[in-house]
A and B are shown apart, each in its own frame.
Chain A
Amino acid sequence: MNAVIEARGLSKVFHTTVRRPGLGGALRSLVSPERVAKVAVRDVDFRVGKGELLALLGPNGAGKSTTIKMLTGILTPTSGEALVAGVVPHRDRERNAHNIGAVFGQRTQLWWDLPARESFAILRDIYGVPEDRYRERIAEFDGLLELSEFWDTRVRHLSLGQRVRCDLAASLLHDPPVVFLDEPTIGMDVVVKEQVRRFLRHQVEERERTVLLTTHDMTEVARLAERVVLINHGRIVLDGPLQEIRRRFGGTWQIRATLADAADLQEIERQERFAVGDGSCGSDGSGQGRGSVRGDRPDGSAGPGGSAGPGGPFGGQRDLSSLPGFAGIGVLRREGPRVVFGPVGDGAPSVHEALKVVIGRFQVTDLALEENDLEDVMRSAYLSDVPGQGALAPEGSSSSPSSFSSPSSDPSAPSDPSASSDSSSSAAVTSTSQGG
């Protein structure tokens, strides 16, 4: 792959002083400050190819913005190397500037006191964009983002959503091959968000720009990202397609079907008998309904092996893989003609694929689908301390190998009636976040 963005062992350490508590402590700190090194990003490695959109995900303070700042050249890495469009960003800032566009949703890059359109004109001059191309691009951006409704208003008076749209246009005026977007849909209503997503897709698909994006909006991730890099505590936890996150952090599904044909039921029964039902006690406890990701336990802690989903992708389901097409599909529960199918093993199919197989094989009279939504999956991923790339897990969670080969030994699978309550865990998300 010809990487356009490349991070090699990128690390950033900030040195700060710790304040001791109380007035006495503050005075002591004044005389002899206690310096601490805070590792914001450690050994981050990834590559993004041309025309690829990569979403950088992670909880607040995980190191996403710091990573972007190193890749844009705003920050100098403590160690490791960044290479963006063949340029080391912090070493050759001006050349790098022509290659990249960037939007930091929380802070504008436009001139606060000028109408947005005049900021565009300034940027045209700074980047030396020829007049005809400038007009062309402005017209294109206006067509996609409807900027002309408000671009004669001073940036100071724009709403956040309007301002960020202007920032987006401004970042692309010089036609950069690489674009960094730090929370580009912050403060936008649903209609505008969709507009911006279309705009970004257009930039990637039609203009072949390479985009690195951070966001907390999971719909956005699902709509835009082909690939995600999950970062937590400054380290990469996962790098792969979104499906991979679903699989590793409890993105599970269930197909509840009522089978009409008694022969089908017998067939299933026969299969179950052949399949070894090891640890079957855990299987019935597996997620009763949506949102029952493990991290949802009221105490918010992700327990040992907390990365596996409800009942895990394994967990003693009765495997149907000897039926043709049923690789990765198993039976979670069965009650008369009502059968609940679920994923089994590492190569489990998606709910849509499984549905096709189930309907194709059996006569189904009634059907219901359940799938964890991405937010639940991400919550579980953020709360889990599963080490990627050799990270250390905090005490209390025995670090399970990232290959997830043995989650069946999971003792915490029993169903907890409160486990499916979504609201009980939201506070826990913030408690794990770190500043900086």
Chain B
Amino acid sequence: MTTPSSSPSTPTPSTPTPSTTTPSTSAGPTASVRGVRAARVVWRITKLNFKARLEYRGEFLMGVAIGAIWQVSIIVFATVLLTRFPGLGGWSSSDVLLIASMRMLAHGLYVLFLGRIQYMNVLVQEGIVDPCLIRPMPVYRQVQLAFFPVNAIGDLVVAVGLFAAALQRSSLDWTAGRIVYVVAGVLGGMLVEAALFTALAAAAFHFPATSYWAQWLEELMGTFGSYPLSILPKAASAAFTFVVPLAFIAYFPAGVLTGHGDDMGVPRALAVAAPFVGLVAFVLSRLLWNWSLSRYTGVNG
């Protein structure tokens, strides 16, 4: 046992665990060791969460199905686009398909890796946040590990299919640079979406009604994120760039890849920097979220 007030970090024989696990002690493991350990814990918990969902077979299959069906309107749109029209607003149909598929892929990855943040209001009300605050793991990570998002499987299956179709129809020369950029673009898109929902979740600590805002935001991204925003009036495309920055999810990176870099209504450099903008937005939203967490006053007083 420790004699805490005099030597808080000195472990004694009967409490051996803190000495090996407390990251803040000076003799703790190095950052990389901690990183590996943390990743292993995340992986184990995810496996258990996945297993838990598998046990309700019917619910699991329905979850996968809804993920796929959710994207049906995009698929119908893509089919119509490819079979009936030569293009949209100066974009060839294969270029538009690249926007739609990149967005869907980014969205699927967001749901898989960071999507639980959207349920923040429910988690707060169910009192799941309180125990997170007394466990030695970042609260944001614990929120992400609350359950396994079965619907992400459906999302991703459809997204990968659509992305394959887009690549197949694309006349681009897929150099190493382009491959790297498309990967960065998709990851950046994931981060933009995560940043928007994380910012909303920061409000969810205090106002449960944010769930409606989250629904509206998801709807908005599904509706406008998949098209070249140049077909919209200037004010609308500006709003989608600077207010709700969904242009950065797929429109800008896809436009850069397909040679539309100069006609997207923003300086080319900004469009090129879309993946980086995603990263910055996510970091900022996390800071906001952390600040909000520090002002958390708990449920039922």
CB contact between B127 and one of A107, A133, A174, A208 (< 8 Å): that residue: A107
The answer to whether B24 and A95 touch across the interface, beta carbons within 8 angstroms, is yes
Q: Decide if A301 is an interface residue (CB 8 Å cutoff).
A: no
Please measure, in the bound complex, the distance between the C-alpha atom of A24 and the C-alpha atom of B126, giving whole angstroms: 32
Chain A positions 59 through 98: 1 when the CB is less than 8 Å from some CB of chain B, otherwise 0: 0010001100100111110000001111100001111111
The answer to whether B18 and A2 touch across the interface, beta carbons within 8 angstroms, is no
Q: Decide if A31 is an interface residue (CB 8 Å cutoff).
A: no
- Min CB distance B97 to A, Å, is 38
Chain A positions 344 through 386: 1 when the CB is less than 8 Å from some CB of chain B, otherwise 0: 0000000000000000000000000000000000000000000
| Residue of A84, A111, A128, A133 with most chain B CB atoms under a 10 A cut-off | A128
Q: Decide if B135 is an interface residue (CB 8 Å cutoff).
A: yes
Please measure, in the bound complex, the distance between the C-alpha atom of A84 and the C-alpha atom of B41, giving whole angstroms: 27
Q: Chain A: how many interface residues by the 8 Å CB criterion?
A: 58
- Min CB distance A139 to B, Å, is 17
Q: Decide if A100 is an interface residue (CB 8 Å cutoff).
A: yes
Q: Decide if B1 is an interface residue (CB 8 Å cutoff).
A: yes
The answer to whether A50 and B3 touch across the interface, beta carbons within 8 angstroms, is yes
- Min CB distance B230 to A, Å, is 41
Q: Determine the residue in chain A with the shortest Cβ distance to B8.
A: A86
**B residues near A208, Cβ cutoff 8 Å:** 1, 14
CB contact between B134 and one of A66, A74, A113, A118 (< 8 Å): that residue: A74
- Min CB distance A123 to B, Å, is 8
**B residues near A2, Cβ cutoff 8 Å:** 3-6
Chain B positions 13 through 36: 1 when the CB is less than 8 Å from some CB of chain A, otherwise 0: 011111011111100000000000
Q: Determine the residue in chain A with the shortest Cβ distance to B42.
A: A125
**A residues near B41, Cβ cutoff 8 Å:** 125-126
Which stretch, B44-52, B154-162, B174-182, B218-226, touches the partner chain A?
Answer: B44-52
CB contact between A99 and one of B3, B4, B45 (< 8 Å): that residue: B4
Q: Decide if B298 is an interface residue (CB 8 Å cutoff).
A: yes
**B residues near A14, Cβ cutoff 8 Å:** 297, 301
CB contact between A177 and one of B4, B25, B45, B126 (< 8 Å): that residue: B4
The answer to whether A126 and B2 touch across the interface, beta carbons within 8 angstroms, is no
**A residues near B53, Cβ cutoff 8 Å:** 113
CB proximity to A under 8 Å, residues B129-186? 130-131, 133-137, 147
Please measure, in the bound complex, the distance between the C-alpha atom of A176 and the C-alpha atom of B16, giving whole angstroms: 10
Q: Decide if B294 is an interface residue (CB 8 Å cutoff).
A: yes
Please measure, in the bound complex, the distance between the C-alpha atom of A174 and the C-alpha atom of B135, giving whole angstroms: 11
Q: Decide if B7 is an interface residue (CB 8 Å cutoff).
A: yes
**B residues near A102, Cβ cutoff 8 Å:** 131, 134
**B residues near A114, Cβ cutoff 8 Å:** 48-49, 52
Q: Decide if A109 is an interface residue (CB 8 Å cutoff).
A: yes
The answer to whether A98 and B136 touch across the interface, beta carbons within 8 angstroms, is yes
**B residues near A95, Cβ cutoff 8 Å:** 9, 22, 24-25, 136
Please measure, in the bound complex, the distance between the C-alpha atom of A134 and the C-alpha atom of B6, giving whole angstroms: 28
Please measure, in the bound complex, the distance between the C-alpha atom of A86 and the C-alpha atom of B10, giving whole angstroms: 10
- Min CB distance A215 to B, Å, is 18
CB proximity to B under 8 Å, residues A199-224? 207-208
Q: A93-B134, A98-B21 are in contact. Are A125 and B14 (CB under 8 A)?
A: no
| Residue of A69, A72, A97 with most chain B CB atoms under a 10 A cut-off | A97
The answer to whether A97 and B134 touch across the interface, beta carbons within 8 angstroms, is yes
Q: A6-B5, A86-B4, A97-B135 are in contact. Are A75 and B297 (CB under 8 A)?
A: yes
The answer to whether A86 and B7 touch across the interface, beta carbons within 8 angstroms, is yes
The answer to whether B301 and A133 touch across the interface, beta carbons within 8 angstroms, is no
CB contact between B301 and one of A66, A127, A129, A175 (< 8 Å): that residue: A66
Please measure, in the bound complex, the distance between the C-alpha atom of A97 and the C-alpha atom of B135, giving whole angstroms: 5
The answer to whether A133 and B17 touch across the interface, beta carbons within 8 angstroms, is yes
- Min CB distance A253 to B, Å, is 38
Q: Decide if B37 is an interface residue (CB 8 Å cutoff).
A: yes
The answer to whether B4 and A87 touch across the interface, beta carbons within 8 angstroms, is yes
The answer to whether A99 and B17 touch across the interface, beta carbons within 8 angstroms, is no
**A residues near B300, Cβ cutoff 8 Å:** 65, 436
**B residues near A109, Cβ cutoff 8 Å:** 131
The answer to whether A3 and B5 touch across the interface, beta carbons within 8 angstroms, is yes
Q: Determine the residue in chain A with the shortest Cβ distance to B137.
A: A126
Q: Decide if A308 is an interface residue (CB 8 Å cutoff).
A: no
CB contact between B133 and one of A66, A93, A127, A133 (< 8 Å): that residue: A93
Please measure, in the bound complex, the distance between the C-alpha atom of A125 and the C-alpha atom of B3, giving whole angstroms: 26
The answer to whether A125 and B7 touch across the interface, beta carbons within 8 angstroms, is no
The 7 closest A-B pairs by CB, nearest first: A86-B8, A85-B4, A128-B21, A86-B4, A109-B131, A436-B301, A97-B136
Can you list 30 residue pairs at the A/B interface with Cβ under 8 Å? A2-B3, A4-B4, A4-B5, A65-B300, A75-B297, A75-B298, A86-B4, A92-B24, A94-B22, A95-B24, A95-B25, A98-B136, A99-B2, A107-B127, A107-B131, A109-B131, A111-B49, A118-B48, A118-B52, A126-B135, A128-B20, A128-B37, A129-B17, A130-B16, A130-B20, A174-B17, A175-B14, A177-B2, A177-B15, A436-B301
Q: Tell me the A residues contacting B by CB distance below 8 Å.
A: 2-4, 6, 14, 40, 50-51, 61, 65-66, 69, 72-76, 83-87, 92-100, 102, 104, 107, 109, 111, 113-114, 118, 121-123, 125-130, 133, 154, 174-177, 207-208, 435-436
Further pairs besides A76-B294, A111-B52, A130-B17: 12, Cβ < 8 Å: A2-B4, A2-B5, A6-B5, A50-B3, A107-B127, A107-B130, A118-B48, A122-B48, A123-B135, A128-B37, A207-B14, A435-B301
Q: Tell me the B residues contacting A by CB distance below 8 Å.
A: 1-9, 14-18, 20-25, 37, 40-41, 44-45, 48-49, 52-53, 126-127, 130-131, 133-137, 147, 294-298, 300-301
